[in-house]
Amino acid sequence: MPFMDQIPLLTVIVVLPLAGALAVLAAKGPRGVQGAALGTTLAVFVLTLLPLWSFQPERAGFQLVERVPWIPSLGISYHLGLDGLSLFLLPLTGFLSVAAVLVSWRRVQEKIKAYYVSFLVLETGMLGVFVSLDAVLFYFFWEAMLIPMFFIIGIWGGANRRYAAFKFIIYTMAGSVFLLIGLLLMAFLHLRLGGVFTFDMVSWFGFHVPLQWQYGLFVLFFVAFAVKAPVFPFHTWLPDAHVEAPTAGSVILAGVLLKMGIYGILRFCLPLLPEATVFFTPVVMALGVIGIVYGALVAYAQDDLKKLVAYSSVSHMGLIVVGVMAGNLAGMKGGIIQMVNHGLSTGALFILVGAVYDRLQTREMGRLGGLAGRTPVLAAFFMIMTLSSLGLPGLNGFVGEFLLLLGAFRHSWWIGVPAAATLILGAVYMLWMMQRVFFATYRGGRLGAVADLSRRERLVMIPLTLLVFGIGLYPSFLTDRIDTVSRLLTAAPAARVMAPMTADHSLAYHPDRLEETNDGTDFSRR
């Protein structure tokens, strides 16, 4: 599409929510505010779909690149771009933002202007993180995201919202400190060894970080991103934040914010620090496997519906971490796809949990039950998302799970086997949840009239459901587009394993040199 060469599409996408925030401020009356917010998020969503069109899957490196010097003396530029890793995260963010506005429609009545402004600023932050190619810009968006989220939890949250909001902000800020130190170190290293002080990430990719620095940098970056993902044992902010956040906040938190942890690991750790990645892989994978089992166990013990879904995220993120660290194509593709899938199905689950809470004013599963007969449509959607979450073939969750497990198994059977326990444990806690909420009889006393999903709620759920089926039935649409980036990401560490201790820059995250990864023994070709 030629016209897209002229329009700075990514800038428009990132800035549009801010413009929408101004429109919200100017709007009159709750209807106007909601209308402005909805219109903005819809427009942004449509724009985030455009790159899917123009994206050239075979091309390595970044596309739709925009670059303007910003603070040249400090090597900072306004540099945006997009590759297979971020390609699907943009429309995911765009879509979930629309959903967030729609599910807040009736629920949020207080300080409505501030609420939607927070959301739109948050959206800018999220989109900015995914397209930034300058580390300072990245850090700016990264931090910019936290503040509106802090307000959303702290102002429109549940009873214990202050504790949760502060825990969220302090915990993630602590992580950000590590990130900031890491980024500054990178820039100084680049000055000392590369001769230029720059925060440009594309320049960083071509630069080989000396071994003795890699390990420290890896720890800094990994801790920063592990808090966000969250990787066990950095996860305890998550259940508190989820339980207290309003529904829309949970949707964004689970759907988009958690993805940034994995995104960061893939953007920084793997390509910049390939030797350290290889060195730390056993540790990180072990944390991932622990996260899978531990998250599932803790989820199984929950009485609070929202906490259960929150802990299920810990389990799912653990599997993603295992897969992307496996160092092979299947695991990497599975991880990138599962980021999208988890965003869709867990986002949807939080919407539905919110719907249950709105109707019965409780999330305590011991006081729920028997809703399937009263609200069949809600129950049906809940069931579909539950099945997606537990990885039923034909739905999206299975695609990611299958590839991730294949990746883990190709790495080594003793990682693959415990990781596959997710198959059993996922069914255990998800079906137990389903039963306690929807089946048998209601245990909360007398049950009055319960409304089924409203038309607005269905409007949100139907596209989500279609996506869940669509990705499940035809995942090639995604896998074909992330093929190149997955090869690059797995090639960098793998090449280091084969040629350790060399200072050969060309083996780093470089588009032109693709190294095939070794995928284990192959009897058929002997």
Partner 1 sequence: MNPDCLWLLLAPPALGFLVNGLMGRRLPASITAAVALAAVGLPLAVALGFLLEMTAAPPEARVVATSLYTWLSDGDFQVRVGLLLDPLAMVMSLVVLGIGFLIHIYSVGYMEGDVGYRRFFAYMNLFVFFMLLLVLADNLVLTFCGWEGVGLCSYLLIGFWHERKSACDAGRKAFIVNRVGDFGFILGILLTITAFQTVDYGELAEIAATAPGDASPIIALMVLLIFMGAMGKSAQFPLHVWLPDAMEGPTPVSALIHGATMVNAGVYLMCRLSPLLNRCPEVLLVIAVLGLVTALYAALAALGQRDLKRILAYSTISQIGFMFVAVGSGMYALGIFHLVTHGIFKGLLFLAAGAVIHTLGGEQDLGRMGGLFREIPAVAVAFLAGLLALAGVFPLAGFFSKDAILWGGFQRFGASFWIVSLSGALLTALYCGKLFGVFFGPRRDEGPPHRPGALLIWPPAVLALGALIAGVLGLPMFAQDTLLSRFLGFASPAVASGQGHELEVIMTVFQGMVIPAFLAASAYLFVRRRRRMEELERAFPRAAAFLADGFGLDKLNALLLATPLRGAARFSARIIDNRIIDGAVNGVGWAAMRAGRLLALLQTGELRHYALSILAGAVALLGAALYAAGIF
Residues lying near partner 1 in the complex (CB under 8 A): 167, 170-171, 233, 235-237, 294, 297-298, 300-302, 329-330, 333, 370, 372-373, 387, 392-394, 398-399, 402-403, 405-406, 409-410, 413, 416-417, 420-421, 423-424, 427-428, 431-432, 435, 438-441, 473-476, 479-480, 519-526
Which positions ≥6 away from 493 have C-beta within 8 Å? 270, 274, 275, 277, 278, 281, 327
Q: How far is the CB of 67 from partner 1 (least distance, A)?
A: 33
Q: Residues 396, 341: contact at Cβ < 8 Å? A: yes
The single-letter code of the amino acid at 147 is I
Paired residues of 200 in beta bridges: 134
Closest to partner 1 by CB, 26 vs 514, is 514
Which positions ≥6 away from 96 have C-beta within 8 Å? 251, 252, 255, 256, 343, 347
The single-letter code of the amino acid at 107 is R
Determine which helix (DSSP H) or strand (DSSP E) holds 76, and give its type and residue range: strand 76-82
Closest to partner 1 by CB, 128 vs 288, is 288
Structure tokens at 84: 């297979």
Closest to partner 1 by CB, 161 vs 235, is 235
Q: Which residue has the tokens 């930034």?
A: 132
Closest to partner 1 by CB, 79 vs 235, is 235
Q: How far is the CB of 134 from partner 1 (least distance, A)?
A: 32
What Rg, from alpha-carbon coordinates, does the chain have? 22
Count of other CB atoms within 10 angstroms of residue 159: 9
Structure tokens at 74: 């400090």
**514 closest CA partner among 25, 45, 60, 19:** 60
Q: How far is the CB of 305 from partner 1 (least distance, A)?
A: 15
Q: How far is the CB of 367 from partner 1 (least distance, A)?
A: 16
Structure tokens at 238: 């998550």
Closest to partner 1 by CB, 191 vs 440, is 440
Q: How far is the CB of 483 from partner 1 (least distance, A)?
A: 8
Tell me how far apart the alpha carbons of residues 4 and 9 are, in angstroms, rounded to a whole number: 7
Closest to partner 1 by CB, 240 vs 457, is 240
Closest to partner 1 by CB, 95 vs 171, is 171
CA end-to-end distance (rounded Å), the chain: 47
Closest to partner 1 by CB, 95 vs 398, is 398
Structure tokens at 5: 């060469």
Q: How far is the CB of 89 from partner 1 (least distance, A)?
A: 20
**82 closest CA partner among 53, 107, 118:** 53
Q: How far is the CB of 331 from partner 1 (least distance, A)?
A: 10
Q: How far is the CB of 103 from partner 1 (least distance, A)?
A: 23
Q: How far is CA 294 from CA 168, 233, 318, 420, in A?
A: 21, 10, 9, 13
Q: How far is the CB of 150 from partner 1 (least distance, A)?
A: 16
Closest to partner 1 by CB, 279 vs 439, is 439
Tell me how far apart the alpha carbons of residues 484 and 364 are, in angstroms, rounded to a whole number: 45
